[in-house]
Structure 1
Amino acid sequence: MNVETKGGDRAIVCKKVLLATGALTELNALLPGILIDQMLRPLTVSLVEVSKEHAEQQLKCMPCVIYRGDGHHSWHKVNPNYKNRNVGFYMLPPIKYPDGVTMSRWHGDSCFEEETPKIRPYIDMVHGQLGVAIGGNDDAAKSSDEIGRMAAMMMLREWDSPISGTFFGVSCIKPDFHPDLTFVSVQ
């Protein structure tokens, strides 16, 4: 496999490649000749800074929370990202950033996520040398360690999860895909 940078000024030759590039896989055409069955959707992000004391005392046992449903009657319901106008979010406990901040201020941001038809990630080999770990379905932040571990084991051909690898199989590969594909362009 040849992995080339966007400018073409650098190339890496390797036996296998694992793409764990999320929504950027489709946006940058990192899998030429392959159409992955997924939908890109925008997300709104709120980052809230809390004091060190608050994080260590009141929030230290806060679990990760994922919510999908109708929401409270006072919530704004016009959201094109959720079927039947349902709302969804996930909330993480305080995270200490490299600059030492755990988040007394807040600010908004935006990003995007890819959603797969069965609402589970794709962790699969698209051919003998090329694997993917994509399709986070808005939940990858909380499970990225395990997704990465499973993908690494897959690349070593040592699948060790109690869940069958077919559960995470890629759907909708273009019919003109050729398994002798040896070029991946990294943006």
Structure 2
Amino acid sequence: MANNIHKLYDLCIVGAGPMGSAAARHATLIDPQLKVCLIGQKEPKDRLACSHDIFGSHYDEGRVVAVLIGDPIWKELTRRSASRFRDLEQITGIEFFTEAGQLIIGRESDHNIKRIQRIVPSMESQVQTLDRAMVTGKYPFLSVRQADDTIFYTKSAGFVSPRKLILAQQAAARFQGCNVFYDVVDQVTELDHGESKCMMVATANGNIYHARKVLLTPGAFIGFRKLLPVGKELDLTLLKQHLAFIELRHKDVRRLRNMPVIRWRSEIDEKNYILPPIKYPNGKYYLKIGRRSKEKVETREKVVEYLKRDPSKVVADPHLLELLLELVKDIEVVSTHGDSCVSAHTPNGLLYCDMVTPRLGVATAGNGTGVMASDEIGKMAARMMISGSWDHDLPRENFKAKFRVKSKL
């Protein structure tokens, strides 16, 4: 295929997921004169039949928005993001955020519960500490253990549809002048023609884009294309996320209509979350439960094999279903299925947002919580790219990219 060479952009963002789409919107807000493009792949209508091997982990209708969390950096990133959700909905007309509240359940010995309890006094007007009787009175469909500590938070907490969040970010970015191209980027190269240096972005469809700067936001796939300079490999661990869904009858949807997002630990000390009934594109309502696995996926082939599955044919983890039915009582199960998700994790548990070279930056690795904080991450990354250096009030040291040291054989 002959190459289609596009005009020179000031900033090209590679990866049209939550972080990249947010970065595109904020870049065009910060400097309306900036020529910005966003390149990424649309969600395939049929994962099994699609020809490419790039998939997002945001192909879903529900992701937790949890402002009440133990890590202060993620808490602040999420708080700032959630504070702008309603404005973004109003600007675009795309509704993606449900403020259902957040219920945290755990034992007094749980380290994370203790961390959260320490920050509760600073959020006193928005937080309630509930005993078992109060929880069952407020949510009679929940089965809470006598020894559980329970904390309820309402403001800017609940869940988003990541699909619709991305649509809203991209709609706003387009309105502000950003060009959005649906394509798979195969290679990013720095061109050196003396004083006229720029970046070249080559795609699977044979397109060539030139840009003064490039921001990489492709999530778990950042190491599976020629995007970073030769010899540079980010220190990332890719982990499977286990998801299970229960299809509900309308009577249970009505019964659970005021259900919050729930985060809790089971008896075997696993972190779990449950989302309230959500309507999916097929018109059906599902309860969803998820937890992070410790199972790594280390090659492109394994990631693609795990993600390229028809969710309706993925058998739900029976352990997760058991946990869900233990906590949410008297559900009439219509059907069950699972789904696949891969999250990128860093050694310190925070994302990477850093300049790799003076013309190439990265914003990646949500550590399993990137969607809910993605708007502020996108703003942070856009400011960094435009200024060419760190330009955010949170300390740069938290987000510096770390690279693997390859042994010399």
Partner of 1:16: 213
Q: What is the identity, as a one-letter code, of the residue corresponding to 1:41? A: L
Contact 2:261 2:273 in 1 (8 A): no
Residues 174/125 of structure 1: CA separation in 2 closer, same or farther (3 Å cut): farther
User: 2:267 is matched with which residue?
Assistant: 72
TM superposition score normalised by structure 1:
0.67
The 8 Å contact of residues 23 and 40 in structure 1, kept in 2 or not, is answered as yes
List per-residue Cα deviations over 1:95-138 (Å, max 9, x = no partner). Answer: 66677766476531112111100000001110111111111111
1:64/1:142 contact within 8 Å kept:
no
CA 1:94–1:169 in 2, change beyond 3 Å: closer, same or farther?
Answer: farther
Contact 2:216 2:364 (8 Å CA) reproduced: yes
- Contact 1:55 / 1:94 at 8 angstroms: preserved in 2? no
- Aligned residues of 2:262 and 2:274 also touching (Cα < 8 A): yes
Partner of 2:204: 6
- Paired amino acid for 2:237: M
**Alignment pair present for 1:162 and 2:345:** no
- CA shift in 2, pair 1:133/1:6, >3 Å: same
Q: Partner residue of 1:124? A: 354
Q: 1:103 to 1:125 in 2, by over 3 A?
A: same
- Alignment of 1:39 with 2:222, yes or no, is no
Gaps of 5+ in 2: 1-198, 288-334
Partner of 2:258: 58
The aligned amino acid for 1:129 is: R
**1:88 Cα offset (Å):** 3.0
Counterpart CA distance in 2 for 1:55 and 1:133 is 41
Q: Find the counterpart in structure 2 of residue 111 from structure 1.
A: 341
Distance 1:17 1:173, change over 3 A: farther
> Aligned-pair distance for 1:150?
1.1
Structure 1 position 6, deviation (Å): 2.4
Q: Tell whether the 8 Å contact from 2:247 to 2:284 is kept in structure 1 after alignment.
A: yes
SS of structure 2 residue aligned to 1:120: coil
**Is the alpha carbon distance of 1:12 and 1:98 closer, same or farther for their aligned partners in structure 2, counting shifts above 3 Å?**
farther
CA distance in 2 between partners of 1:16 and 1:95 (Å): 39
Matched, 1:151 2:349: no
Aligned residue pairs total 157
CA distance in 1, matches of 2:208, 2:228: 17
Higher relative contact order (CA 8 A, sep 6+): 1
Q: Which has the higher helix share?
A: 2
Matching residue of 1:81: none
Identity %: 34
Distance 1:40 1:153, change over 3 A: same
Amino acid aligned to 1:58: N
Letter in 2 for 1:88: K
2:253 touches 2:277 (CA, 8 Å); kept in 1? no
**Which amino acid is the alignment partner of residue 162 of structure 1?**
D
1:55-101 CA deviation, whole Å, 9 max, x = no partner? 99413xx3574x5x6x324xxxxxxxxxxxx5334455666667776
* C-alpha separation in 2, matches of 1:154 and 1:144: 15
Q: Which amino acid aligns with 2:396?
A: G
| Counterpart secondary structure, 1:16 | strand
Gaps of 5+ in 1: 74-85, 176-187
| Contact 1:17-1:129 within 8 A present in 2 as well | yes
Shift of 1:16: 1.0
Tell me how far apart the structure 1 counterparts of residues 355 and 397 of structure 2 sit (CA, whole Å): 11
The one-letter amino acid paired with 1:109 is D
Equivalent residues of 1:90, 1:139 under 8 A apart: no
> Secondary structure, in 3 states, of the residue corresponding to 2:219?
coil
Aligned to 2:270: 87
Checking the alignment, whether the CA contact within 8 Å between 1:5 and 1:11 is kept in structure 2 is yes
Change (3 A) 1:97 1:152: farther
What are the Cα deviations for residues 123-175 of structure 1, in whole angstroms up to 9, with x where unaligned?
11101111111111111122112211211111122755331122100012669
Equivalent position amino acid for 2:238 in 1 = L
